[in-house]
Structure 1
């Protein structure tokens, strides 16, 4: 009886310890109270049209990145568009919570946790991706400006080591600051004194470029500019992936 009581007591102690050590999540963001364990920032360019094939490819790639990050990672979605209202309406920040597969079957109900995971995390992200991955275009393409605005709004971005930035765009910057359509390049950017304004806020960040094909006469300028840009910004690595039409 003594041995049995000891085993039962040990079992209750184990269950109590598991319950008390469970991560407490913020109700609004689903992030751990202690803060996100990492960041996955996704920037979608709405200023140039893409084919349905390209958008399906981009969505599949983005969804794989979301699936691959660990629980507690903040997923942020932003857009490139000169329309401030459109940028605001397409902004989403939420942490990846535990799914039913992550549940402890001794102390938790996997079905309930999976339902919460689907409703609070999977569905809002799917709806936002459907909303942003649409055929659209604009008169200007302020990629650098909107990227910096987006990153500045992500809480604690730059404060953890596990960070990734995914950009879906043709990378053809076109604004008052710099425009590839005006034949400007990195040297022109430096000559305007804009280099000193770069935030240098991509330290410890892996950058993935889901790049739409650009006009052939701009390829060399684009590649040189963005290689220099992400290097100065402190990016850990840059992985360019061309999103073809077929």
Structure 2
């Protein structure tokens, strides 16, 4: 029995893939094209029962972060058994109840937007609680895709003003309230390049900035599997 709203089985998903989209700065047409290509591949590769949880970076340290969309993949038409299934019905159901819904949500979130803050750490923590909180480590595959310039910008921790230093952050009194619990999740980062993002005349986005996030994610029980500059 599947939930009519999410397509998910009552017994739970076969895996969870949380996708977080940064809307703090406009996304260029080429970046949006690459993002859609990545989402298309994730969608086409998804096996039946894999749940996608789509978020924007709007978390804080106190409130629950709720997904913009939570939807499980349905069986692909190419996997249907023509002897016992109506292939046209399978195709229509896959497209209208899964593929088109996911595509529309992503398109809506890629539209021009601008937010004053970019709480990346808080949002990753909030998404992990909402998506992975009831799951035991190793129970099912867990994955995170972060689509962002990864420049943390909040009053408490602003990478436009200070160098990204994970060791300093991890020793701070704020770290326990910020640390995500990723439970072994594999993490991919679509690293949106912002040439205008500079501190003291030098680019913020560099290898040290990427290393900060690799260290933070590893310290939080996750593993960065890919950083793809867009």
Compute the TM-score of the two structures, normalised by the length of structure 2: 0.84
Instruction: Supply the distance in 1 between the matched residues of 2:49 and 2:72 (Cα, whole angstroms).
Output: 6
1:217 aligns with 2:203: yes
Segment drifting more, 74-83 vs 204-213: 74-83
Query: Number of residue pairs matched?
Result: 216
1:230 aligns with 2:230: no
Q: Which residue does 1:168 correspond to in 2?
A: 147
5+ residue gaps, structure 1: 1-23
Instruction: Supply the distance in 2 between the matched residues of 1:158 and 1:167 (Cα, whole angstroms).
Output: 20
Segment drifting more, 71-80 vs 199-208: 199-208
Alignment of 1:11-160 (within 5 A): 24-81=1-58, 91-154=68-131, 158-159=135-136, 160=139
The structure with the largest alpha-carbon Rg is 1
Instruction: Supply the distance in 2 between the matched residues of 1:155 and 1:30 (Cα, whole angstroms).
Output: 18
Q: Tell me how far 1:236 sits from its aligned partner.
A: 3.3
Instruction: Supply the distance in 2 between the matched residues of 1:54 and 1:152 (Cα, whole angstroms).
Output: 28
Instruction: Supply the distance in 2 between the matched residues of 1:111 and 1:158 (Cα, whole angstroms).
Output: 35
1:196 aligns with 2:176: yes
Instruction: Supply the distance in 2 between the matched residues of 1:237 and 1:147 (Cα, whole angstroms).
Output: 13
The answer to whether the Cα contact below 8 Å between 1:80 and 1:143 also exists between their aligned partners in 2 is yes
Q: Tell me how far 1:69 sits from its aligned partner.
A: 2.0
Instruction: Supply the distance in 1 between the matched residues of 2:91 and 2:207 (Cα, whole angstroms).
Output: 47
The answer to whether the Cα contact below 8 Å between 1:46 and 1:81 also exists between their aligned partners in 2 is no
- Using a 3 Å threshold, how does the CA distance of structure 1 residues 217 and 100 change in structure 2: closer, same or farther? closer
- Using a 3 Å threshold, how does the CA distance of structure 1 residues 155 and 99 change in structure 2: closer, same or farther? same
* Structure 1 vs Structure 2 CA RMSD: 2.3
The answer to whether the Cα contact below 8 Å between 1:39 and 1:73 also exists between their aligned partners in 2 is yes
Instruction: Point out the structure with the larger helix share.
Output: 1
**Over residues 208-241 of structure 1, what are the superposed CA-to-partner deviations in whole Å (9 max), with x where a residue is unaligned?**
1000124453224422321111011111343100
Q: Which residue does 2:160 correspond to in 1?
A: 181
Instruction: Supply the distance in 1 between the matched residues of 2:134 and 2:36 (Cα, whole angstroms).
Output: 23
**Over residues 165-208 of structure 1, what are the superposed CA-to-partner deviations in whole Å (9 max), with x where a residue is unaligned?**
11110000011331101214324423431222344421221111
- Using a 3 Å threshold, how does the CA distance of structure 1 residues 165 and 155 change in structure 2: closer, same or farther? closer
